[in-house]
Structure 1
Amino acid sequence: MSKKVWVDKEQCIGCELCVNTCPGVFRLDADGKSECYDSTGDSEENIQTAIDMCPVSCIQWQD
């Protein structure tokens, strides 16, 4: 997978939808904000689902 996932922590509200959808990719940091710790931790399809579910659209693909 050549794509990487990026989370805009300033916009993140810490709802944990991405963490619950792809726990192998996302986790909450010490401030309760989502972070991507492994862009290869799940399929692109599942990661895209997490991106689409984000209520504040703070998760994006980066090439």
Structure 2
Amino acid sequence: MNQPKGKGEPGAIPAMPPDSGRENEPGWAGGLRKLYNSVVDEPLPDSFKDLLKKLDGGGDA
């Protein structure tokens, strides 16, 4: 499976850039950016972590 490329943790999705320098963006863009960042910052549920371990071969089958 292909992993996103960029800085930070392998497979991590980079956060969207900060609001500065965005004078030409539509009014809804700031709200969408805040929503995106809040979802990215949510902790991963334990059930997802367990599933990822199993898919990686690191968990008990």
User: TM-score, with normalisation over the residues of structure 2?
Assistant: 0.30
Give the structure with the higher percent helix.
Answer: 2
- Structure with the bigger RCO (C-alpha within 8 Å, sep 6+) is 1
Give the structure with the higher percent strand.
Answer: 1
